[in-house]
Chain A
Amino acid sequence: MWESLIQGFVLALIWLYRVLGSSEWSFALSITVMTIAVRLVTIPFTLPSQRAMKKNAAKMEAIRPELDKLKKKYRQDPQKLQQAQLQLYQEHGINPLSSMTGCLPMFIQLPIIWAFYQSISRALANQPGQMLVLSKYLSAVPEFMSLVPLPSKFLWFDMGRPDKIVLPLLVAGSTWIQQKLTVPSTQGSTDPQAAQMSQSMMITMPLMFGFFAMQMPAGLSIYFIVSNVVGLGIQWATNRWLNGEEQTQETRPKVAPRRVEKATQTGKKAPRKRGYKRRK
């Protein structure tokens, strides 16, 4: 199953490489196109959790004054403070672990991203053992064998070898910007742990990915950079959409005013929100 997934990605990458002209630039373009496709395909995994996190953050914001009061009240007794906070969360339907469960979809999409990441490395086979594996994958479409070994030179670097300075810096920088865009949603949070965790992620993730980029074939750095840029776009669009949704919910009355008026006059029950929505 896992190998089939990687094989599928390898075949798609090489097919794209051929479609894009089998030139020096084609494989880098192929990685770029596939990365965009993979990121778009995995949106359904991330969107529901982002929506839930956003809602949770708004609720947390609403109960902030009450939380501050509790903090003052139980300053000397952290255990009681915790209990009171939990009770408050329950009353308002808040999931205090939302920042943790928010990671879950990330782990669900990890196998797809990981398989894609491995497929880049395997398509760029530059050692006999890797070439043997690539030959096995390509046996499904024998005419692809005429395309290997893929040309690995691109711009100033070799995609099959690590670039030690420029690409790691670009990877770290783009990861940091993406983190920065994600963090504001938790920065205003009343949950200090979530905020602290976000801050530490801001430092750890760019450093970690920058370090990876220094060790791994440069083709993977292209994937990281494109993935981060696409991620930025997705994050921006998602934030816009979620903010718009929030505003609509805040401004929208529970029931249509004209209908409420009519219902009051006739003494009937006001129509349900669903009916109003459908008509709208």
Chain B
Amino acid sequence: MNKSAMPGVARRPQASKHRSRRRKWLIPLTLALFATLLAGCGAQVPPYWPDLSVDGDTVYVTNGRFFALKADTGDAMWAYPAVEQQSGGLLSGCSAPKITDGPFIAAPVVQDELIFLGSGGEIQRSLWGKGENMAGLRALNKLGTLQWRFEGATGSTIAAPALAGTTVYLPSSDHNVYAVDLETRQARWVFQTGNWVWATPLILEGTAYIASMDHVLYAVDDQTGSARWQFDRSSSALPAAPAFDGGVLYLGALGGTMYAIEAQSGELAWEQKVDGGVWATPIIVNGVLYFGTLKGAIYALRTTDGTQVWTKNVEGEVRGTPAYVNGTLYFGCENGRLYAFDAQNGDELMSPLGMQLEKASIYTSPVFDGTYLYVMSTSGEVFALDVERNAIVWQNNPLADQEE
């Protein structure tokens, strides 16, 4: 009998050939998979943190999507966009959900009838050129239904828009601020800066004050969009809006300086070096300026000359604006703690959150609505705190609830 005709003998070299062919691709494909996983997941830094605002009996939360919660119970009333399609993509950030609009990063501004929300999305760039524009402004009614869109912007909106009269001022990462007329739904004017605008424009007495990442603060006529003056003495980027008190603007810079600028002329009143970059708008109470820095320093400075009233240190970055409630300041911190300080002397008080959040930071500015203090963590958990009783009234993670 011919040996090669025997089944077991004849097939062995063939099987070996197949194995070899498989092995030939095994290492390159493993290497490719390994590199893809590293590229997709390893380099990821969360691109933004959630935001929070309160209007009447509703808490508005942006965490990629936009949610409306009942202020007294924390129950979700609605979400925008309402339907979410889940789709994974290794290179888009390890099973990142696909959302039909947005993402939404910044808190909204609310009018009587409408909610104005800046989109954190941007114009989609594909192999064949520009695609769908996800940037711009969304106007929703109070049931969360989209009424109209403004798509003039091409970059993402990182900070809440500002509302004055019948105009919404939309800051954008495309370097521009758009003054959107609510009647025509078109931009009345567009003001271009030299870099991203990550700060909410401050609208005061006919002037829009625009802090830009190009290191310049611009004062712009809010009707025409023409520049009145610009303050270009900051040596670093300006990621947050200025605070205003008694004709002076107080502006923090990422390089670690607090500036006091005359609102009329743009002249520097005083400047104070601080330990760490300032990302948030300071809060002003009784002639004292309160803010935290990215090195965990908490400052209380006199608005008159920038001299120090008191200073404290916490363990972690302080990014948000503090909330002031009955003589107490509440600061969120990178380490997941909510710190409470006596505004008079800087003594640390008991925190109403009462615990350190695990694997989460508090970068979002806490908000007090007259009843509760609302705090939000980077994990998306929202807490309503009773500061009188130092107790948690409710907590809810709307994004997690929707995904379940």
Interchain CB contact (< 8 A) of A199 among B24, B255, B317: B24
Contact A118–B23 (Cβ < 8 Å)? no
By a CB distance below 8 angstroms, the chain A residues around B29 are 204
Contact A196–B255 (Cβ < 8 Å)? no
Question: Are A132 and B195 also in contact (CB < 8 A) when A142-B256, A149-B213 are?
Answer: no
By a CB distance below 8 angstroms, the chain A residues around B359 are none
Interface contacts (Cβ under 8 Å), in number, total 119
Residue-by-residue, is B360-396 near A (CB-CB < 8 Å gives 1, otherwise 0)? 0001000000000000000000000000000000000
Interchain CB contact (< 8 A) of B91 among A114, A196, A215: A215
The docked-state distance in angstroms from the alpha carbon of A121 to that of B43 is: 8
Contact A208–B32 (Cβ < 8 Å)? yes
Residues of A within 8 A of B (CB-CB), count:
45
Task: Say if the beta carbon of A192 comes within 8 Å of chain B.
Answer: yes
Residue-by-residue, is B155-172 near A (CB-CB < 8 Å gives 1, otherwise 0)? 010100000000000000
Task: Say if the beta carbon of B289 comes within 8 Å of chain A.
Answer: no
The A contact surface, by secondary structure, is: helix
The docked-state distance in angstroms from the alpha carbon of A214 to that of B4 is: 51
Determine the residue in chain A with the shortest Cβ distance to B129: A164
Task: Say if the beta carbon of B237 comes within 8 Å of chain A.
Answer: yes
Contact B196–A146 (Cβ < 8 Å)? no
Question: Are A196 and B24 also in contact (CB < 8 A) when A78-B16, A145-B254 are?
Answer: yes
Question: Are A161 and B125 also in contact (CB < 8 A) when A132-B319, A148-B254 are?
Answer: yes
Contact A132–B9 (Cβ < 8 Å)? no
Residue-by-residue, is B226-261 near A (CB-CB < 8 Å gives 1, otherwise 0)? 000000000111010000000000000011100000
By a CB distance below 8 angstroms, the chain A residues around B158 are 127-128
By a CB distance below 8 angstroms, the chain B residues around A135 are 254, 277, 279, 294
Contacts from B to A (Cβ < 8 Å) = 3-4, 9, 12-13, 16, 20-21, 23-25, 27-29, 31-32, 35-36, 38-39, 42-43, 45-49, 91, 105, 125-127, 156, 158, 173, 195-196, 198, 213, 215, 235-237, 239, 254-256, 276-277, 279, 294-295, 317, 319, 363
30 A-B contacts, Cβ less than 8 Å apart?
A76-B9, A78-B16, A103-B27, A118-B43, A121-B43, A126-B196, A127-B48, A127-B158, A128-B49, A128-B105, A128-B158, A132-B279, A132-B294, A136-B317, A145-B235, A145-B255, A146-B236, A162-B125, A165-B127, A196-B23, A197-B24, A199-B24, A200-B28, A204-B31, A205-B28, A208-B35, A212-B39, A215-B39, A215-B91, A216-B91
